[in-house]
Amino acid sequence: MGDCMDGQAIGAIGGLIVLALWFFVIWPAIKRGLGKAASSAGDAFRPKADSTETLLLASAKARSVFNGQIDAYSDNWEKIDLGVRTGVENQMMVVAMSVTLLNISIQDVAYDMGTVDRVRLMEGRDGFPKVKISDDAFRAALRDLWDRFTPATRLNLDMRYRYLFRQRLASDTEAAFFQRLTNYATQSLTNEMAYGAPPDRRWLEFLTDLADGDVERARRFLDDIG
């Protein structure tokens, strides 16, 4: 009788051990495997972004926004063009606005094409597709964006872009100044493109002030943007 009870107790303990192994070891391992499989399947079925098409559509979107802003300054464009061609601060402002605009446009196109994983974004992860755009292609898109400038001014803008992004020759002071302009560009363009705010053309006023030699008004703008 005692041996029988001992056998039953041992069997019960064995059953508990099996259940524990199932719930705490085997099943979690299965769930992890299923999760990885589901993630891989999601990546497989999510459409990939084509870099050529993405950049082409983004360039068109950026041109629309850029031209919509500068059209209001068409009467002063020759003066602005000359100021940008000859002024370092002017060039840095145009490059900051242009690079930011093109980058935001690429993100917008990725959303429009359905290649962004919104669940990942909501979870605080990177949900954007890896779009490989060469520097040459990006610079070509920028030159297309600068079509309203004269050829000599476009050449100087391209040189300023390479100085800042490819050669990385900017001093600490120049880098800090350019970062201020980029922060302003990011905020103003996001407000316009994501939230429907009216175009912020203060950067064009800044270019006009510099072209007119009104350093005091230009400095007030820089103080305003922090």
DSSP 117: -
Question: Has residue 62 got a pLDDT over 50?
Answer: yes
**Per-domain residue ranges for the chain?**
1-45, 48-225
113-153, pLDDT tens digit by residue? 777 777 777 888 877 777 788 999 999 999 999 999 999 99
Cα-Cα-Cα-Cα torsion 116, 122, 124, 129, nearest 10 degrees, comes to 0
Measure the CA–CA gap between 83 and 38, rounded to whole angstroms.
Answer: 56
The residue-averaged pLDDT of 209-216 equals: 95
Question: Has residue 29 got a pLDDT over 60?
Answer: no
Residue with the bigger pLDDT between 185 and 19: it is: 185
- Please give the C-alpha separations between residue 186 and each of 96, 105, 180, 181, in angstroms, as whole numbers: 9, 12, 10, 9
Residue with the bigger pLDDT between 48 and 17: it is: 48
Return the H-helix or E-strand segment holding 208.
helix 202-212
Question: Has residue 108 got a pLDDT over 80?
Answer: yes
Per-residue pLDDT, 49? 60
Total Cβ atoms within 10 A of residue 215: 11
